[in-house]
């Protein structure tokens, strides 16, 4: 009976829900920002449809992604993650555009409110245990956040955003390569 009521609630809210794999954790508490020293290549990238490579630098709770060919380098990072006891946020470093602003504990099937400058909206933690394949490889226990317009952000532990899709399911950002710095 509880499952049926839950399913009806999900349908009314307009979300779909995928159950976790039996062996995976259904809750993620931290570690979704990129590890220090990684070199991440995206194609398409966050703010342009071309390929872009970022060097990851961590400073306390901040993680900066720098494109050394960017007009903003070295003064501004291109992407900033902040991960602390309150949660995770990921945004463009030179604007106020926020990809993710989520609480610290992400439990599959729950929702949280994400705010931008104009509106508040409910985001579904659609999955915390999905295996996702992108150009850079296969990532287990990926966190999938589903927004009210059906766009999604896919996050992997120690790597951060590995993919974003728009409302139609078209890939708008995809991780193409991951390397450790030399």
Query: Which pLDDT belongs to residue 86?
Result: 92
142-159 pLDDT, tens digit per residue, is 999 999 999 999 999 999
48-75 pLDDT, tens digit per residue, is 889 999 999 999 999 999 999 998 888 8
Q: Is 42 left (phi over 0), alpha (psi -120 to 50) or beta?
A: beta
Q: How many CB atoms lie within 10 A of CB 21?
A: 15
Question: What sign for the dihedral angle of Cα 126, 131, 134, 136?
Answer: positive
- Three-state DSSP at 45 gives coil
Please tell me the pTM assigned to this model.
0.85
Query: Which pLDDT belongs to residue 117?
Result: 75
80-122 pLDDT, tens digit per residue, is 999 999 999 999 988 888 889 999 899 999 999 998 778 899 9
């Amino acid at each position: 009976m509880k499952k049926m009521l839950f399913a009806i609630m999900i349908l009314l809210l307009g979300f779909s829900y995928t159950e976790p794999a039996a062996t995976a954790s259904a809750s993620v508490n931290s570690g979704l920002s990129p590890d220090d020293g990684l070199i991440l290549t995206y194609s398409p990238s966050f703010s342009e449809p071309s390929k872009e490579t970022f060097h990851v630098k961590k400073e306390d709770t901040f993680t900066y992604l720098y494109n050394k060919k960017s007009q903003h380098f070295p003064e501004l990072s291109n992407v900033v993650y902040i991960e602390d006891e309150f949660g995770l946020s990921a945004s463009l470093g030179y604007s106020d555009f926020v990809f993710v602003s989520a609480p610290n504990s992400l439990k599959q099937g729950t929702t949280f409110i994400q705010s931008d400058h104009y509106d508040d909206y409910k985001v579904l933690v659609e999955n915390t245990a999905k295996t996702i394949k992108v150009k850079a490889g296969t990532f287990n226990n990926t966190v999938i956040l589903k927004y009210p317009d059906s766009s999604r952000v896919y996050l992997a532990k120690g790597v951060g955003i590995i993919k974003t899709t728009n409302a139609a399911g078209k890939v708008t950002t995809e991780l193409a390569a991951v390397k450790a710095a030399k």
